[in-house]
Chains A and B, each alone.
Chain A
Amino acid sequence: RAVSGSRAHRGAARAALPAAMDLFGDLRRMNKRQLYYQVLNFAMIVSSALMIWKGLIVITGSESPIVVVLSGSMEPAFHRGDLLFLTNFHDDPIRAGEIVVFKVEGRDIPIVHRVIKIHERENGNIKFLTKGDNNEVDDRGLYKEGQNWLEKKDVVGRARGFLPYVGMVTIIMNDYPKFKYALLAVMGAYVLLKRES
């Protein structure tokens, strides 16, 4: 360890474990002012993350621009745990072959499937049918009772890009809430206790 008593600047490249040992030493030395500073720092990070997310919602026009694939109904293209990036521009027409993420009225869970039929009127009203690549039949069984078609208002977004595996973290956090709390606690503790001089 460097010369004792010096508050050397700690670069981000420091390994986590020795940093944790230093943190508890720092905690004892912190006074009220520094504690407030740490809390503000933490709040900044949370606010920035929120702003980025809201900004994405505005830019893409979709209420949920990043979604995780939950089922295997689009295999072999997408597997459970893949991440999808969506846009939902109003002027983007819905065409056969596109991959859309939609919500059935009354259900919370978004579904990622492909558009296989569209019928569009002259005034722009469109009704369309979807089907998962890996399913034998179309999605009519998934729609609401008596509903045969989807409309633009049911669409959360159009899949424009994708990253494999990355969304698995979200699925694990959902299935094992203890893991989620543990992860949040560790992250919170690290940010609160880390000091920059």
Chain B
Amino acid sequence: LRKNVEDFTGPRERSDLGFITFDITADILNGKNGLQTFIFDWNVKQLFLYLTAEYSTRKNALNQVVLWDKIMLRGDNPRLFLKDMKTKYFFFDDGNGLKGNRNITLTLSWNVVPNAGILPLVTGSGHVSVPFPDTYETPKNY
């Protein structure tokens, strides 16, 4: 599981807004005790995948923002190879905690939706830490 990002921040009203572009290369398999079992077994209807940015700021000890999600139905290709993706949702902070924040962790997780039964949330192995720069990007004048 690997992600690469480049980013810049911009202020909106009173809150920081972050922009991230990312790549995702993922193989959704379920490794157990050395055996790799395919996660889409008979009782899995779909996976709800989502990319979360987790970080802390002075104002809030823990922040989690879902930047992007995707529904993967049974039968879809379990290998993801996405490049240069823009975030689906705006990455607003509650305040100005993105500026100069050195440690934003991006993780890919998924919700297994069964045909019937328990609904587990699984976090993929592998994550990427992203720093935000110390300055805001000023809007360009044309």
User: Which residues from chain A sit less than 8 Å from chain B, CB to CB?
Assistant: 76-78, 95-99, 114, 116-122, 127, 133, 138, 159-164
Contacts and interface: CB of A to CB of B under 8 A. Distances in A.
Nearest to A78: B113
A16 B24 CA distance: 59
Contacts of A95: 64, 121
A99 B116 CA distance: 16
A99 B111 contact: yes
A97 B65 contact: no
Interface stretch (B3-11, B46-54, B130-138): B46-54
Contacts, number: 74
Contacts of B92: 117
Contact of A120 (B46, B52, B60, B89): B60
B63 interface: yes
Interface string B64-75: 111001010100
Contacts of B21: none
Contact of B64 (A117, A122, A162, A163): A117
Most buried by B among A97, A114, A160, A164: A97
B109 interface: yes
A133 B71 contact: yes
Contact of A97 (B50, B115, B117): B50
Interface residues of B, number: 29
22 contacts: A77-B111, A96-B50, A96-B66, A97-B48, A97-B66, A97-B109, A114-B111, A116-B50, A116-B65, A117-B64, A117-B92, A118-B62, A119-B63, A121-B59, A121-B61, A133-B48, A133-B69, A138-B89, A160-B119, A161-B119, A162-B113, A162-B114
B39 to A, nearest CB: 16
- Chain B contact residues, majority secondary structure: strand
A163 B115 CA distance: 8
A149 to B, nearest CB: 9
A133 B118 CA distance: 18
B63 A164 contact: no
B127 interface: no
Nearest to B115: A164
B61 A163 contact: no
Contact of B46 (A76, A117, A122, A159): A76
B71 A118 contact: no
Contacts of B114: 162
B52 A162 contact: no
B27 interface: no
Interface string B91-105: 010100000000000
Contacts of A76: 45-46, 71, 73
A138 B90 CA distance: 11
Most buried by B among A98, A119, A127, A163: A119
A96 B55 CA distance: 12
